[in-house]
Amino acid sequence: MCLNKKNKNLSLSTDLATMLSDGEAKELLSFLTLEMRADVKGQATGYILGLTGNRDGCRYLRSKPDFLKALVTLTRDPSITIVKDCYHALINLSADETLHQPLVKETDLLAILFQNLLDPEYMFADRICTILSNLSRHERTCRDVFSALQEQKIGLDKVVEIFCTEGFNKKASLHYLGPLLSNLTQLPEARHFILDKDRCVIQRLLPYTQYEESSTRRGGVVGTLRNCCFDYTHHEWLLSDAVDILPYLILPLAGPEELSEEENEGLPVDLQYLPEDKKREDDPDIRKMLLETLMLLTATKVGRQIMKNKNVYPIMREFHKWEKDPHVISACEKLIQVLIGDEPEAGMENLMEVEIPKDVEEKLKELDTKEQEQMEKDKQESEKQLKESPEGLER
């Protein structure tokens, strides 16, 4: 198999996988070694990178674990260009869920990734964070990632420490550690660590709900907090002065609107008399997650009482007037209904423990699906109208 320029360009074809005979695949694999001449090795890794650029190529490599092992091995190559191509290929592969198990079971990828993540001088640490974030999206492989953390004697505490240490790696931002933490907290073991009252982990994460430099980092932390709030036994502690989670969830949703003196006095101190230039979170997905987290905190009677006593409603009222995204508006309206509504009847105070009859549950799901479809339809119609509006003409 000749790795000339023509063949390298062919690697971008969606039909490439069918072009490689067993003999060609074997020959190509022989070029993917640390000992191979740099120019030949570089063309070979570029060829594989082209394969990972489309679904068929990724699925082809799924059946070729030796190629996956070779890519992982070459992340130790002395050539920066080759290492960069290998990491790029691994990012593409890890974006495909069907590759997750082969990557973590057939190679020593996780051990190498965590080892390099700990190196404050490692220039490809951001790519590592992206791969780990991809691999941990779904529960099965998320457990493999979490187990590897323990086996490597690193632990979640070290990941949190790196995440919270500004400038830990001068060559990488490490923002994608945020989504990694969010993904890991789909596991009860990870939530237990984050919510450990003796570790003060969640208190370290709270300031990042307003981290202006990166929506990826902000969103990762908000996702982590949302997942942790599914454990309702911790709600009272989270809302207490020991953690004081409420201002960190509400402040990104609060705007510059002037509230009455009475409304301001009822709010937590950090939310009172906000400046005229106060801006809200600009990412609708993060705004929705913040609202969902607040909604989870209303699941228990004590949570609802605290949020009502802290006068959350006026902030949500003004937010509802401002919000334009239909999905976020829907989430806000559900929260407002709880904040201004009557308490559930006796025996139903904990909304997470209420058993819903199957027929009612199916009906609610059907209504929710219809609501989502209508919101999507309204959104498309609104976008269509905006496109049709003449430029510069006020509507």
User: How much is the pLDDT for 337?
Assistant: 93
142, pLDDT greater than 80: yes
366, pLDDT greater than 90: no
**Whole-Å CA distances, 72 to 69, 89, 126, 323, 329:** 5, 10, 16, 46, 45
Helices (H), 95-243: 100-105, 109-117, 125-135, 139-151, 155-164, 177-184, 188-194, 201-205, 215-228, 235-239
State the burial class of residue 391 (Cβ atoms within 10 Å of its Cβ: 0-12, 13-18, 19+). Answer: exposed
CB 83 within 8 A of CB 128: no
- From CA 47, how far away is CA 363, in angstroms rounded? 51
**Whole-Å CA distances, 293 to 164, 196, 246:** 22, 19, 10
Average model confidence (pLDDT) for the chain? 87
- From CA 110, how far away is CA 116, in angstroms rounded? 10
User: Is 323 among the domain residues?
Assistant: yes
State the helix-helix crossing angle for 155-164 and 139-151, rounded to 10 degrees: 90
User: How much is the pLDDT for 342?
Assistant: 75
Q: Percentage of the chain surpassing pLDDT 90?
A: 78
Closest CA to 93 of 144, 125, 50: 50
User: Is 293 among the domain residues?
Assistant: yes
Determine the longest span between alpha carbons in the chain, in angstroms.
79
Identify the three-state secondary structure at position 24: helix
User: Is 305 among the domain residues?
Assistant: yes
User: How much is the pLDDT for 341?
Assistant: 82
User: Is 283 among the domain residues?
Assistant: yes
Query: pLDDT (tens digit, 9 = 90+) per residue, 55-74?
Result: 999 999 999 999 999 999 99
Q: Which of 94-108, 227-241, 329-343 has the lowest mean pLDDT?
A: 329-343
Closest CA to 231 of 352, 150, 318, 115: 352
Instruction: Compute the C-alpha angle 204/210/212, nearest 5°.
Output: 120
Identify the three-state secondary structure at position 376: helix
- From CA 79, how far away is CA 8, in angstroms rounded? 19
Q: Which of 78-82, 88-92, 126-130, 386-390 has the lowest mean pLDDT?
A: 386-390
Q: Which of 164-168, 190-194, 253-257, 389-393 has the lowest mean pLDDT?
A: 389-393
Q: Which of 114-128, 272-286, 301-315, 343-357 has the lowest mean pLDDT?
A: 343-357
User: Is 384 among the domain residues?
Assistant: no
If one counts every other C-beta atom within 10 angstroms of the C-beta of residue 10, the result is 14
Helices (H), 240-357: 246-250, 261-266, 284-297, 301-309, 313-322, 326-340
pLDDT band of residue 13 (cuts 50, 70, 90) is: very low
User: Is 81 among the domain residues?
Assistant: no
As a whole number, mean pLDDT of residues 117-136 equals 97
Identify the three-state secondary structure at position 211: coil
Per the structure, the count of domains in the chain is: 1
User: Can you say whether the dihedral through the CA atoms of 121, 126, 131, 132 is positive or negative?
Assistant: positive
199, pLDDT greater than 70: yes
Closest CA to 126 of 91, 184, 172: 172
Instruction: Compute the C-alpha angle 281/285/288, nearest 5°.
Output: 80
As a whole number, mean pLDDT of residues 119-125 equals 97
CB 180 within 8 A of CB 146: no
Count of H-run helices and E-run strands, the chain: 24, 0
44, pLDDT greater than 70: yes
User: Is 94 among the domain residues?
Assistant: no
User: Is 297 among the domain residues?
Assistant: yes
- From CA 285, how far away is CA 327, in angstroms rounded? 9
State the burial class of residue 52 (Cβ atoms within 10 Å of its Cβ: 0-12, 13-18, 19+). Answer: buried
Query: Which residue range is the domain that position 321 belongs to?
Result: 231-344
As a whole number, mean pLDDT of residues 279-301 equals 96
- From CA 227, how far away is CA 144, in angstroms rounded? 19
User: How much is the pLDDT for 360?
Assistant: 46
Instruction: Compute the C-alpha angle 129/222/251, nearest 5°.
Output: 135
Alpha-carbon torsion angle 182, 188, 190, 193, nearest 10: 130
- From CA 187, how far away is CA 139, in angstroms rounded? 7
15, pLDDT greater than 90: no
Predicted TM-score (pTM) of this structure: 0.84
